[in-house]
Amino acid sequence: MSAVCLGVPGRIVALTGAPDLRMGTVDFDGVRRPVCLAYTPEAEVGDYVIVHVGFAISQVDEVEAARTLEVLRAIPDALAGELGPEFAQ
Amino acid sequence: MKYLDEYRDPVLARRLLSELRATATRPWAIMEVCGGQTHTLVRQGIDELLPAGIRMIHGPGCPVCVTPLATIDAAVAIAARPDVIFTSYGDMLRVPGTAGDLLGVKARGGDVRVVYTPLDAVRIAREHPDRQVVFFAVGFETTAPANAMAVLHAAATGLRNFSVLVSHVLVPPAITAILDAPDNQVQAFLAAGHVCAVMGWTEYEPIARCYGVPVVVTGFEPLDLLEGIVMAVRQLEAGRAAVENQYARAVRRDGNTAAQQAVRRVFRVSERTWRGIGPIPASGLALTAEFAAFDAEARFPAGGTPAVEHPDCIAGRILRGIAVPTDCPAYGTRCTPLSPLGAPMVSTEGTCAAFHHAGRRKPPVEAR
């Protein structure tokens, strides 16, 4: 996995009061890393952020995340209709 | 894991594929700009599941791959200095320069260290006041805020032994360069979601309007990519050319303004040479006058051996999206991820490496 391009979402589990830089601990599915939160000043413990080379670049909008999934789930499964339920899992 | 696993649901993926089959009435060519997206498309085989006629063209969005050879050569020369600790993201170490790579420098005793974040490089500089610490600041708009913060932090704490070798590239000018090429085949773009998380998408609006190409800001999970492709095809079929945002959970129209401000303070827009493509005006970042003291190239002037690309490598055509890796005579034989001739075979986000890791083979030669 490359360090340069992929940002991953993680959950802020602690704010670590560094004196000159907003830092926190972010949990990525069990792996915890120090992350700079200078660019997500609103993000608090419990929030999800997209982390890229040790910096949170965006806070995940949970409402939008859920809405996108709702839109996708609303698409009819044409294949299941044609081939029967075993393909619909 | 929240916001990751849900976007890998195979049932929803199949629904999107059938939606795509129902939408597409003719062939379309769509470019995913970002190497991270290329990696997902190829590794999951999404590009091969698409309906006949929907072709993904893999773009130049791999910062490792487009870092100019001369810059790799400068990195190798600086890293070889006995007074320097050279720090870099891991995937830059194996990019071939004219005479070897950073890994070779390390093997010969050079102090080359892989860091996960530029703040680690700043920390190393603080821990070694007697050494010069150089960070290889590469990447698109996504890593620019991190690299800017490293410089700001070093300046604020009075670090005099820290500098950055800057090789930053910007996505919109590259898209424009691709569209301006006489052999361009791209009809729509998936814009890189994390670049837009930082920059927003206002820069893409004039491109969509002037060139009449749909642009869909897209995330990185399989479902994100499929939905991005569906949205692009819907626009193409309707004859529309707008910027749409598939990746609404992470990207707002104006992006991350705090990050943009830091980038604007530390960097200015400059001309930049892209490996395999050539110089593109206003397509890169260089340090502003205020932070010129942190420029590693000025601090360690390079000796001038001209940079020479390997003659067998067709990386330039691959990065412009007019050839695929399996077209290359060296692919999989003289050029593999273990001994790469060109940059796209190095990084997992390079198109050649993505093809190779997925086991893509050259089409068999017809028996006569």
Count of A–B CB contacts within 8 Å? Answer: 164
Q: Is the model's pLDDT at A82 over the cut of 60?
A: no
Please tell me the pTM assigned to this model. 0.92
**pLDDT at site A85:** 43
Task: Choose the mutation target among B117, B164, B195, B266 for the interface with A, i.e. most A CBs under 10 Å.
Answer: B117
Q: Is the model's pLDDT at B9 over the cut of 60?
A: yes
State how far residue B45 is from chain A, nearest Cα, in angstroms: 17
How far apart CA B76 and CA B98 sit, in angstroms, is 10
Q: Which residue has tokens 């080359």?
A: B112
* Closest CB to A57 among B2, B194, B227: B194
How many alpha carbons fall within 13 Å on the CB side of residue B335? 27
Nearest Cα residue in chain A from B33 = A5
Helix or strand (DSSP H, E) at B245: strand B243-245
Determine, for residues B248 and A77 on separate chains, whether the beta-carbon distance falls below 8 Å. Answer: no
pLDDT in tens, A31-73: 999 999 999 999 999 999 999 999 999 999 999 988 888 888 8
**pLDDT at site A3:** 46
Q: What is the mean pLDDT of residues B155-184?
A: 94
Task: Choose the mutation target among B9, B140, B141, B143 for the interface with A, i.e. most A CBs under 10 Å.
Answer: B143
Q: Are B213 and B188 in contact (CB under 8 A)?
A: yes
How far apart CA B99 and CA B32 sit, in angstroms, is 32
**Comparing C-alpha atoms, which of B137, B122, B155 is closest to residue B290?**
B155
Q: Which residue has tokens 């609303």?
A: A74
